[in-house]
């Protein structure tokens, strides 16, 4: 993968950023919210305000129902839904507001054969590498078929954040599993996802694809899109957005993101 420039959130010149970008995208877990939990009230209020000032996209490996619970259920009356763009499962699906409801504009679902092959490979290698934990050591499903994405979560989908962060701090377990599965599935994209997960999607569909689609949607250059995420390391699932040419901003937890949004809300005028 090509090299990319990453900006730490507290090293950004926000005056220059605000004048340069046409839209901004965010990762979800550990960026806008603690993993699998709703945005805080403060975050929801500032995030909603930001949608009145600039087009906003959320691109995450999570499925759409998590977007509903973590983002949409928390939005207040100040949010401009027409200015919010949702890209679950790492951009393999895209939802926008049609004035009455959230409508799926596209979905790149895997074929049944590809989904079966991904499940088989993830299961076999996780067991071989000792990552298939006993049932009483996981929270929820280990494997999830999201239609356009197959996700393996070593501790289960609903593991608490503290357990997730402690399980693989150097990401070596996930990266080793992803490499083994990728060797089995050359026709698919396999990547290290969240803190305990490995994702399998259609070839070429990742957050770089999402950046290209957003650039097309808004008739702008990818370099005029900012993307904020916590996994901006070369093995992380936010890094492809940076490789695509977006202005990449690394955060370490949602508090950093809240500070970014507050700075932008203080700088950008309300649209219209």
Query: Is pLDDT at 1 greater than 60 in this prediction?
Result: no
pLDDT at 205: 83
The whole-angstrom separation of Cα 146 and Cα 236 is: 20
pLDDT at 90: 84
pLDDT at 234: 87
Contact present, 23 and 57 (Cβ < 8 Å) = yes
- Does the annotation place 80 within a ligand binding site? no
Question: What residues form DSSP beta bridges with 58?
Answer: 26, 86
pLDDT at 36: 86
| 217-237: pLDDT as tens digits | 999 999 999 999 999 988 888
The whole-angstrom separation of Cα 255 and Cα 237 is: 20
Contact present, 84 and 110 (Cβ < 8 Å) = no
Query: Is pLDDT at 206 greater than 90 in this prediction?
Result: no
Confidence of residue 204 (pLDDT cuts 50, 70, 90): confident
Clarify whether residues 13 and 82 are in a common domain: yes
Which residues are tagged catalytic?
A: 27, 29
- Does the annotation place 42 within a ligand binding site? no
Phi, psi of 250 (to 5 degrees): -90, 130
- Does the annotation place 146 within a ligand binding site? yes
- The answer to whether residue 178 is domain-embedded is yes
- Does the annotation place 197 within a ligand binding site? yes
Confidence of residue 35 (pLDDT cuts 50, 70, 90): confident
pLDDT at 152: 96
Choice between 78 and 235, residue whose per-residue pLDDT is larger: 78
CATH number for position 83: 3.40.50.1000
**Strand intervals (E) in 168-256:** 188-192, 197-202, 225-229, 247-250
Clarify whether residues 76 and 124 are in a common domain: no
pLDDT at 131: 96
The whole-angstrom separation of Cα 13 and Cα 226 is: 13
CATH number for position 190: 3.30.1240.20
Across the range 109-136, mean pLDDT stands at 95
Structural domain count, the chain: 2
Across the range 128-154, mean pLDDT stands at 92
- The answer to whether residue 43 is domain-embedded is yes
The whole-angstrom separation of Cα 95 and Cα 104 is: 4
Domain boundary among 202, 224, 259: 202
Mean of pLDDT over the chain: 94
Q: Give SS3 for 107.
A: strand
Contact present, 149 and 98 (Cβ < 8 Å) = no
| 55-76: pLDDT as tens digits | 999 999 888 999 999 999 999 9
Domain membership of residue 260 as a residue range: 6-107+205-267
Clarify whether residues 80 and 95 are in a common domain: yes
The whole-angstrom separation of Cα 252 and Cα 269 is: 27
CA 36 from centroid of its chain's CA atoms: 12
Name the nearest CA neighbour of 185 among 98, 252, 99, 120.
Answer: 120
Clarify whether residues 17 and 97 are in a common domain: yes
Task: Give the strands of the sheet with 247-250, arranged side by side.
Answer: 6-8, 247-250, 225-229, 23-26, 56-59, 84-87, 93-97, 102-107
Confidence of residue 2 (pLDDT cuts 50, 70, 90): low
pLDDT at 235: 80
């Amino acid at each position: 993968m090509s090299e990319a420039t990453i900006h730490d959130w507290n090293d950004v010149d926000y005056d220059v950023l605000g004048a340069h970008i046409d839209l901004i995208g965010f990762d979800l877990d550990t960026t806008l919210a603690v993993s699998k939990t709703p945005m805080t009230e403060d975050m929801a209020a500032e995030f909603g305000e930001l949608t009145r000032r600039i087009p906003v996209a959320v691109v995450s490996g999570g499925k759409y129902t998590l977007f509903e619970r973590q983002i949409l259920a928390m939005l207040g009356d100040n949010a401009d839904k027409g200015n919010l763009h949702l890209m679950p499962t790492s951009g393999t699906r895209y939802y926008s507001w049609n004035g009455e409801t959230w409508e799926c504009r596209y979905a790149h679902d895997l074929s049944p054969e590809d989904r079966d092959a991904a499940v088989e490979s993830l299961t076999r290698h996780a067991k071989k590498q000792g990552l298939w934990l006993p049932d009483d050591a996981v929270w929820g499903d280990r494997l999830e078929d999201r239609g356009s994405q197959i996700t393996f979560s070593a501790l289960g989908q609903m593991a608490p954040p503290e357990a997730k962060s402690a399980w693989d701090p150097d990401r070596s377990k996930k990266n080793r599993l992803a490499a083994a599965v990728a060797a089995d599935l050359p026709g698919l994209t396999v990547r290290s996802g969240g803190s305990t997960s490995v994702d399998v999607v259609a070839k070429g569909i990742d957050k770089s694809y999402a950046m290209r689609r957003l650039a097309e949607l808004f008739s702008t250059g990818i370099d005029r899109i900012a993307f904020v995420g916590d996994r901006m390391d070369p093995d992380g699932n936010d890094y492809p957005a940076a490789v695509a040419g977006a202005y990449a901003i690394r955060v370490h937890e949602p508090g950093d993101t809240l500070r970014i949004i507050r700075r932008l809300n203080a700088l950008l005028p309300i649209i219209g």
